[in-house]
């Protein structure tokens, strides 16, 4: 198979050890085997809800730092996709646990999640549009990789309690969204010099490390 020359694939290759480990963490293995407790899943929904607040702010910073109308639209659409497109499922699970976003506002991230959020926000505040893109992609793209891998291994996950969440991250709509971002990363980063690209890949790898740590934190 011909090796991809896309910049995003070079970044994923650099973070390969983390990406390969995502679907093997205890939390996801327990989910796959039907052994995940409700308390553990509740904890995930809470921590993910808290994390998303920082994640969304990154796209807000990107809108402010955009150099063209096209970039502003791109990041504004990302805000909408994450806060609206994925929000219905998250809110439905929260409601099952007797929680709302108002309740989440009174809660705090665990130290591992807090470190991830601080890394994202520091990069968003101090960095460029390209920096913001590279630290947000491991989450955006990683979820597709995780849940498509899990469903390939265990098709039953596409049905039952976790089906709404699985559907969000394995749908053709989400796949198309991921592909659109792959092309945007290429447009933004492929023409940069080698030194700048190396910095961006390092940011992507570090974000991937945080993403794995977040999954591991859950169980």
Domain with residue 59: its CATH number is 1.20.910.10
Helix (H, G, I), strand (E, B) or coil at 105: coil
Residue 2: inside a domain? no
Phi, psi of 128 (to 5 degrees): -95, 175
Per-residue pLDDT of the chain (219 residues; tens, 9 = 90+): 456 789 999 999 999 999 999 999 999 999 999 999 999 999 999 999 999 999 999 999 999 999 999 999 999 999 888 877 668 899 999 999 999 999 999 999 999 999 999 999 999 999 999 999 999 999 999 999 999 999 999 999 999 999 999 999 999 999 999 999 999 999 999 999 999 999 999 999 999 999 999 999 999
Q: What does the alpha-carbon distance between residue 79 and residue 176 come to, in Å, rounded to a whole number? A: 17
- Could you identify the residue written with the tokens 């991809």? 4
User: What is the structure's pLDDT at 82?
Assistant: 82
Q: Number of folded domains in the chain?
A: 1
Domain range for 51 is 7-217
Q: Residues 5, 9, 10, 11: is their CA dihedral positive or negative? A: positive
Residue 68: inside a domain? yes
- Could you identify the residue written with the tokens 């970044």? 11
User: What is the structure's pLDDT at 51?
Assistant: 97
């Amino acid at each position: 198979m011909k090796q991809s020359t896309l910049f995003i694939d070079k970044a994923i290759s650099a973070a390969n050890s983390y990406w390969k480990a995502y679907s093997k963490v205890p939390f996801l293995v327990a989910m796959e085997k039907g052994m995940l407790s409700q308390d553990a899943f509740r904890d995930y929904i809470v921590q993910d809800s808290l994390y998303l607040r920082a994640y969304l702010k990154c796209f807000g910073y990107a809108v402010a730092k955009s150099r063209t109308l096209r970039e502003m639209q791109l990041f504004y659409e990302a805000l909408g996709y994450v806060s609206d497109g994925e929000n219905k499922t998250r809110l439905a699970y929260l409601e099952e646990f007797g929680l709302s976003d108002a309740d989440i506002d009174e809660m705090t991230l665990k130290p591992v999640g807090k470190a991830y959020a601080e890394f994202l926000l520091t990069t968003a505040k101090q960095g460029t549009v390209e920096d913001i893109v590279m630290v947000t992609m491991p989450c955006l793209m990683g979820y597709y990789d995780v849940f498509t891998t899990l469903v390939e291994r265990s098709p039953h996950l596409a049905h039952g309690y976790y089906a709404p969440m699985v559907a969000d991250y394995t749908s053709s709509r989400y796949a198309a969204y991921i592909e659109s971002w792959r092309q945007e990363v290429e447009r933004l980063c492929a023409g940069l010099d080698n030194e700048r690209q190396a910095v961006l890949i390092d940011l992507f790898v570090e974000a991937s490390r945080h993403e794995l740590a977040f999954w591991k934190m859950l169980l």
